[in-house]
Amino acid sequence: RKEQELDSKDAIILHQFSRPTNGVPSLSPFCLKMETYLRMADLPYQNYFDGKLSPQGKMPWIEYNHKKVSGTEFIIDFLEEKLGVNLNKHLGPHERAVSRAVTKMVEEHFYWTLAYCQWVENLHETQKMVSLFGPFSDLLKWILCHLTKGIVKREMYGHGIGRFSEEEMYRLMEKDMRTLAGLLGDKKYIMGQTVSTVDATVFGHLAQAMWTLPGTRPERLIKGELINLAMYCERIRRKFWPEWHHDDDNTLYESEESSEASKTYSPLQDFSFYSRTETFDEEGNSISQTPDTDYTGHSLFDSDVDMDEYRDHEQCK
Protein backbone atom coordinates (compact mmCIF):
# COMPACT_ATOMS: atom_id res chain seq x y z
CA ARG A 1 0.00 0.00 0.00
CA LYS A 2 1.38 3.37 -0.99
CA GLU A 3 1.81 5.52 2.09
CA GLN A 4 -0.02 8.81 2.26
CA GLU A 5 2.18 11.87 2.44
CA LEU A 6 1.50 13.95 5.54
CA ASP A 7 2.18 17.65 5.82
CA SER A 8 3.02 18.30 9.47
CA LYS A 9 3.99 21.94 9.01
CA ASP A 10 2.81 23.72 12.17
CA ALA A 11 0.41 20.83 12.79
CA ILE A 12 0.51 18.05 15.37
CA ILE A 13 -0.10 14.69 13.68
CA LEU A 14 -0.92 12.04 16.29
CA HIS A 15 -0.32 8.46 15.16
CA GLN A 16 -2.21 5.89 17.20
CA PHE A 17 -4.21 2.67 17.01
CA SER A 18 -7.71 2.66 15.54
CA ARG A 19 -10.67 3.44 17.77
CA PRO A 20 -12.15 0.31 19.42
CA THR A 21 -15.77 -0.64 18.80
CA ASN A 22 -17.07 -0.03 22.34
CA GLY A 23 -16.92 3.78 22.22
CA VAL A 24 -13.72 4.14 24.28
CA PRO A 25 -11.10 6.27 22.47
CA SER A 26 -8.32 3.68 22.78
CA LEU A 27 -7.45 0.29 24.27
CA SER A 28 -3.92 1.62 24.76
CA PRO A 29 -3.37 3.55 28.01
CA PHE A 30 -0.54 5.49 26.37
CA CYS A 31 -2.54 6.51 23.30
CA LEU A 32 -5.38 7.67 25.55
CA LYS A 33 -2.88 9.48 27.77
CA MET A 34 -1.37 11.34 24.82
CA GLU A 35 -4.66 12.39 23.25
CA THR A 36 -6.04 13.45 26.64
CA TYR A 37 -2.89 15.51 27.27
CA LEU A 38 -3.35 17.34 23.96
CA ARG A 39 -6.91 18.17 24.96
CA MET A 40 -5.88 19.28 28.45
CA ALA A 41 -3.24 21.56 26.92
CA ASP A 42 -5.80 22.70 24.31
CA LEU A 43 -3.44 21.89 21.44
CA PRO A 44 -5.17 21.26 18.09
CA TYR A 45 -4.08 17.97 16.55
CA GLN A 46 -4.88 15.61 13.71
CA ASN A 47 -5.38 11.89 14.33
CA TYR A 48 -3.83 9.39 11.96
CA PHE A 49 -5.03 5.84 12.58
CA ASP A 50 -2.50 4.08 10.37
CA GLY A 51 -1.31 1.57 12.98
CA LYS A 52 2.27 2.19 11.88
CA LEU A 53 4.79 2.17 14.73
CA SER A 54 7.44 4.83 15.17
CA PRO A 55 11.06 4.16 14.14
CA GLN A 56 11.62 3.10 17.78
CA GLY A 57 8.73 0.65 17.55
CA LYS A 58 6.50 2.79 19.79
CA MET A 59 2.87 3.87 19.72
CA PRO A 60 1.70 6.60 19.96
CA TRP A 61 4.04 9.02 18.24
CA ILE A 62 3.72 12.45 16.66
CA GLU A 63 4.97 14.45 13.73
CA TYR A 64 5.39 18.20 14.00
CA ASN A 65 7.10 20.30 11.34
CA HIS A 66 8.39 17.01 9.85
CA LYS A 67 10.01 16.06 13.16
CA LYS A 68 9.05 12.60 14.46
CA VAL A 69 8.92 12.07 18.23
CA SER A 70 7.90 8.88 20.05
CA GLY A 71 7.42 7.99 23.72
CA THR A 72 4.78 10.01 25.55
CA GLU A 73 7.28 11.56 27.98
CA PHE A 74 9.52 12.75 25.14
CA ILE A 75 6.50 13.95 23.15
CA ILE A 76 5.34 16.09 26.07
CA ASP A 77 8.85 17.48 26.60
CA PHE A 78 9.05 18.28 22.88
CA LEU A 79 5.70 20.09 22.83
CA GLU A 80 6.56 22.06 25.95
CA GLU A 81 9.79 23.24 24.35
CA LYS A 82 8.35 24.00 20.90
CA LEU A 83 4.94 25.40 21.84
CA GLY A 84 5.51 26.74 25.34
CA VAL A 85 2.75 24.71 26.99
CA ASN A 86 3.18 23.52 30.56
CA LEU A 87 0.44 21.88 32.60
CA ASN A 88 2.77 21.70 35.61
CA LYS A 89 3.68 25.36 35.97
CA HIS A 90 1.54 25.67 39.10
CA LEU A 91 3.41 22.82 40.85
CA GLY A 92 6.28 23.34 43.28
CA PRO A 93 9.47 21.21 43.34
CA HIS A 94 8.02 18.72 45.84
CA GLU A 95 4.79 18.37 43.88
CA ARG A 96 6.71 17.84 40.65
CA ALA A 97 8.73 15.09 42.32
CA VAL A 98 5.57 13.38 43.60
CA SER A 99 3.98 13.74 40.18
CA ARG A 100 6.89 12.01 38.48
CA ALA A 101 6.97 9.23 41.08
CA VAL A 102 3.25 8.57 40.54
CA THR A 103 3.72 8.61 36.77
CA LYS A 104 6.44 5.99 36.94
CA MET A 105 4.44 3.78 39.31
CA VAL A 106 1.50 3.87 36.90
CA GLU A 107 3.47 3.41 33.68
CA GLU A 108 6.14 0.96 34.84
CA HIS A 109 4.13 -1.16 37.28
CA PHE A 110 0.35 -0.68 37.19
CA TYR A 111 0.39 -0.79 33.37
CA TRP A 112 1.65 -4.38 33.27
CA THR A 113 -1.09 -5.71 35.53
CA LEU A 114 -3.66 -3.95 33.36
CA ALA A 115 -2.07 -5.42 30.24
CA TYR A 116 -2.29 -8.90 31.76
CA CYS A 117 -5.96 -8.44 32.58
CA GLN A 118 -6.70 -6.97 29.15
CA TRP A 119 -4.68 -9.21 26.85
CA VAL A 120 -4.37 -12.47 28.79
CA GLU A 121 -7.14 -13.10 31.29
CA ASN A 122 -9.86 -11.05 29.52
CA LEU A 123 -8.69 -11.63 25.94
CA HIS A 124 -12.10 -12.82 24.69
CA GLU A 125 -13.80 -9.54 25.68
CA THR A 126 -10.89 -7.44 24.39
CA GLN A 127 -11.09 -9.20 21.03
CA LYS A 128 -14.68 -7.99 20.64
CA MET A 129 -13.52 -4.39 21.04
CA VAL A 130 -10.72 -4.48 18.47
CA SER A 131 -11.68 -2.58 15.33
CA LEU A 132 -10.94 -4.44 12.09
CA PHE A 133 -13.11 -4.60 8.99
CA GLY A 134 -13.21 -6.74 5.87
CA PRO A 135 -14.14 -10.28 4.82
CA PHE A 136 -11.54 -11.88 7.11
CA SER A 137 -11.86 -9.43 10.02
CA ASP A 138 -12.84 -12.06 12.61
CA LEU A 139 -9.88 -14.26 11.73
CA LEU A 140 -7.51 -11.30 11.66
CA LYS A 141 -8.75 -10.10 15.06
CA TRP A 142 -8.23 -13.57 16.51
CA ILE A 143 -4.68 -13.73 15.13
CA LEU A 144 -3.84 -10.17 16.22
CA CYS A 145 -5.15 -10.66 19.76
CA HIS A 146 -3.38 -13.97 20.29
CA LEU A 147 -0.13 -12.55 18.94
CA THR A 148 -0.52 -9.62 21.33
CA LYS A 149 -1.20 -12.05 24.18
CA GLY A 150 2.08 -13.84 23.49
CA ILE A 151 4.00 -10.57 23.28
CA VAL A 152 2.50 -9.27 26.54
CA LYS A 153 3.32 -12.49 28.42
CA ARG A 154 6.89 -12.50 27.10
CA GLU A 155 7.49 -8.85 27.96
CA MET A 156 5.92 -9.26 31.40
CA TYR A 157 8.27 -12.15 32.08
CA GLY A 158 11.24 -10.02 31.01
CA HIS A 159 10.02 -7.18 33.19
CA GLY A 160 9.81 -9.57 36.14
CA ILE A 161 6.20 -9.02 37.13
CA GLY A 162 5.11 -11.86 34.84
CA ARG A 163 7.01 -14.37 36.97
CA PHE A 164 4.44 -14.13 39.74
CA SER A 165 1.16 -15.99 39.96
CA GLU A 166 -2.08 -14.42 38.75
CA GLU A 167 -3.25 -13.85 42.32
CA GLU A 168 0.02 -12.16 43.23
CA MET A 169 -0.21 -9.87 40.19
CA TYR A 170 -3.73 -8.86 41.15
CA ARG A 171 -2.57 -8.10 44.68
CA LEU A 172 0.05 -5.77 43.20
CA MET A 173 -2.63 -4.16 41.02
CA GLU A 174 -4.87 -3.55 44.01
CA LYS A 175 -2.01 -1.95 45.95
CA ASP A 176 -1.39 0.47 43.06
CA MET A 177 -5.08 1.34 42.76
CA ARG A 178 -5.42 1.86 46.52
CA THR A 179 -2.34 4.10 46.42
CA LEU A 180 -3.93 6.22 43.70
CA ALA A 181 -7.21 6.39 45.60
CA GLY A 182 -5.41 7.44 48.77
CA LEU A 183 -3.38 10.07 46.94
CA LEU A 184 -6.46 11.48 45.20
CA GLY A 185 -8.63 11.52 48.32
CA ASP A 186 -11.42 14.06 47.84
CA LYS A 187 -9.38 16.33 45.58
CA LYS A 188 -10.54 17.26 42.11
CA TYR A 189 -7.34 16.08 40.43
CA ILE A 190 -4.29 14.11 41.54
CA MET A 191 -2.21 17.15 42.50
CA GLY A 192 -5.04 19.41 43.63
CA GLN A 193 -7.72 21.59 42.11
CA THR A 194 -5.90 22.16 38.81
CA VAL A 195 -5.22 19.56 36.16
CA SER A 196 -1.58 18.59 35.52
CA THR A 197 0.30 16.19 33.26
CA VAL A 198 0.05 13.31 35.73
CA ASP A 199 -3.74 13.38 35.32
CA ALA A 200 -3.43 12.46 31.64
CA THR A 201 -1.28 9.48 32.65
CA VAL A 202 -3.50 8.27 35.48
CA PHE A 203 -6.71 8.75 33.49
CA GLY A 204 -5.31 6.91 30.47
CA HIS A 205 -4.71 3.84 32.64
CA LEU A 206 -7.69 3.97 34.99
CA ALA A 207 -10.04 4.41 32.02
CA GLN A 208 -9.08 0.91 30.90
CA ALA A 209 -10.26 -0.53 34.22
CA MET A 210 -13.33 1.67 34.15
CA TRP A 211 -14.58 1.00 30.62
CA THR A 212 -12.71 -1.85 28.88
CA LEU A 213 -12.57 -4.67 31.46
CA PRO A 214 -16.19 -5.69 32.17
CA GLY A 215 -16.67 -8.01 35.12
CA THR A 216 -12.99 -8.08 36.10
CA ARG A 217 -11.44 -7.39 39.50
CA PRO A 218 -10.09 -3.93 38.57
CA GLU A 219 -13.53 -2.85 37.29
CA ARG A 220 -15.26 -4.10 40.45
CA LEU A 221 -12.68 -2.33 42.59
CA ILE A 222 -12.85 1.05 40.83
CA LYS A 223 -16.65 1.07 40.71
CA GLY A 224 -17.02 -0.26 44.24
CA GLU A 225 -14.64 0.35 47.10
CA LEU A 226 -12.47 2.93 45.29
CA ILE A 227 -15.37 5.02 44.06
CA ASN A 228 -13.37 8.26 44.19
CA LEU A 229 -11.31 6.92 41.26
CA ALA A 230 -14.49 6.32 39.25
CA MET A 231 -15.66 9.86 40.02
CA TYR A 232 -12.24 11.14 38.94
CA CYS A 233 -12.47 9.29 35.60
CA GLU A 234 -15.98 10.62 34.97
CA ARG A 235 -14.84 14.15 35.81
CA ILE A 236 -12.03 14.08 33.26
CA ARG A 237 -14.12 12.32 30.62
CA ARG A 238 -16.87 14.93 30.79
CA LYS A 239 -14.54 17.91 30.70
CA PHE A 240 -12.04 16.82 28.07
CA TRP A 241 -14.00 14.22 26.06
CA PRO A 242 -17.44 15.81 25.59
CA GLU A 243 -18.28 13.58 22.61
CA TRP A 244 -17.38 10.35 24.42
CA HIS A 245 -20.51 8.73 25.80
CA HIS A 246 -20.70 5.15 27.02
CA ASP A 247 -23.91 3.16 26.55
CA ASP A 248 -23.54 1.48 29.96
CA ASP A 249 -23.04 4.69 31.95
CA ASN A 250 -24.31 4.48 35.52
CA THR A 251 -26.75 7.34 36.03
CA LEU A 252 -25.68 7.55 39.67
CA TYR A 253 -22.60 9.38 38.42
CA GLU A 254 -24.76 12.07 36.85
CA SER A 255 -27.08 14.86 37.93
CA GLU A 256 -30.63 15.08 36.58
CA GLU A 257 -29.54 17.68 34.05
CA SER A 258 -26.56 15.73 32.73
CA SER A 259 -28.57 12.49 32.75
CA GLU A 260 -31.15 13.99 30.39
CA ALA A 261 -28.45 15.53 28.23
CA SER A 262 -26.64 12.19 27.93
CA LYS A 263 -29.45 10.83 25.81
CA THR A 264 -28.46 13.19 22.99
CA TYR A 265 -24.81 12.18 22.77
CA SER A 266 -23.49 10.76 19.52
CA PRO A 267 -20.87 7.97 19.26
CA LEU A 268 -17.22 8.95 19.48
CA GLN A 269 -16.15 10.25 16.09
CA ASP A 270 -12.75 10.15 14.40
CA PHE A 271 -12.33 13.88 13.88
CA SER A 272 -9.71 14.51 11.23
CA PHE A 273 -8.79 17.68 13.08
CA TYR A 274 -9.64 18.38 16.70
CA SER A 275 -9.44 21.33 19.04
CA ARG A 276 -11.02 21.17 22.46
CA THR A 277 -12.58 24.61 22.12
CA GLU A 278 -14.09 23.87 18.72
CA THR A 279 -15.62 20.60 17.57
CA PHE A 280 -18.10 19.37 15.00
CA ASP A 281 -21.65 18.13 14.98
CA GLU A 282 -22.84 14.89 13.35
CA GLU A 283 -23.00 16.57 9.93
CA GLY A 284 -19.46 17.88 10.24
CA ASN A 285 -20.48 21.51 10.85
CA SER A 286 -18.36 23.52 13.24
CA ILE A 287 -19.99 24.39 16.57
CA SER A 288 -18.66 26.55 19.36
CA GLN A 289 -17.87 24.91 22.66
CA THR A 290 -16.12 26.09 25.79
CA PRO A 291 -13.84 23.87 27.87
CA ASP A 292 -16.40 23.85 30.69
CA THR A 293 -19.43 22.75 28.69
CA ASP A 294 -20.32 19.39 27.25
CA TYR A 295 -21.45 18.40 23.75
CA THR A 296 -24.95 19.76 24.41
CA GLY A 297 -23.77 23.03 25.92
CA HIS A 298 -24.60 22.08 29.53
CA SER A 299 -22.16 23.09 32.23
CA LEU A 300 -19.90 20.37 33.63
CA PHE A 301 -20.10 20.27 37.42
CA ASP A 302 -17.85 18.11 39.53
CA SER A 303 -20.29 18.07 42.44
CA ASP A 304 -22.92 16.05 40.56
CA VAL A 305 -21.39 12.76 41.69
CA ASP A 306 -22.88 11.75 45.02
CA MET A 307 -20.71 9.26 46.91
CA ASP A 308 -23.32 8.58 49.60
CA GLU A 309 -25.96 7.85 46.97
CA TYR A 310 -23.62 5.44 45.22
CA ARG A 311 -22.70 3.62 48.43
CA ASP A 312 -26.40 3.26 49.33
CA HIS A 313 -27.02 1.81 45.90
CA GLU A 314 -24.15 -0.66 46.30
CA GLN A 315 -25.45 -1.80 49.67
CA CYS A 316 -28.87 -2.51 48.15
CA LYS A 317 -27.38 -4.86 45.53
Is 282 a domain residue?
A: no
Sorting pLDDT into bands at 50, 70 and 90, what band is 52? confident
Sorting pLDDT into bands at 50, 70 and 90, what band is 246? low
Average pLDDT, the chain: 80
Residue 65 has pLDDT above 70, yes or no: yes
Is 6 a domain residue?
A: no
Range of the domain at 230: 12-241
> Per-residue pLDDT averaged across 175-189, rounded?
96
What CATH number has the domain bearing residue 196?
Answer: 1.20.1050.130
Residue 249 is predicted with a pLDDT of 47
- In this structure, of 44-58, 182-196, 242-256, 281-295, the range with the lowest mean pLDDT score is 281-295
Is 280 a domain residue?
A: no
Cα 317 to Cα 311: distance, rounded to the nearest angstrom: 10
Is 174 a domain residue?
A: yes
Is 45 a domain residue?
A: yes
Q: pLDDT tens digits for 127-158?
A: 888 877 777 777 888 888 899 899 999 999 99
Is 108 a domain residue?
A: yes
Is 136 a domain residue?
A: yes
pTM of the model: 0.78
Cα atoms found within 13 Å of the Cα of residue 37, Cβ hemisphere only: 30
Residue with more model confidence, 244 or 235: 235
Helical H segments across the chain, by residue range? 29-40, 72-83, 93-105, 111-116, 123-129, 137-159, 166-184, 197-211, 217-222, 227-240, 256-261, 307-316
Residue 181 has pLDDT above 70, yes or no: yes
Residue 268 is predicted with a pLDDT of 55
> Per-residue pLDDT averaged across 218-225, rounded?
94
Cα atoms found within 13 Å of the Cα of residue 132, Cβ hemisphere only: 16
Percent with pLDDT over 70 in the chain: 75
Is 317 a domain residue?
A: no
> Per-residue pLDDT averaged across 6-23, rounded?
85
Cα 160 to Cα 157: distance, rounded to the nearest angstrom: 5
Residue 252 has pLDDT above 60, yes or no: no
Q: pLDDT tens digits for 22-47?
A: 889 999 999 999 999 999 999 999 99
Pairing relation of β-strands 45-48 and 12-15?
parallel
Domains identified in the chain, total number: 1
Q: pLDDT tens digits for 103-122?
A: 999 999 999 999 999 999 98
User: Which phi and psi (to 5°) does residue 232 adopt?
Assistant: -60, -45
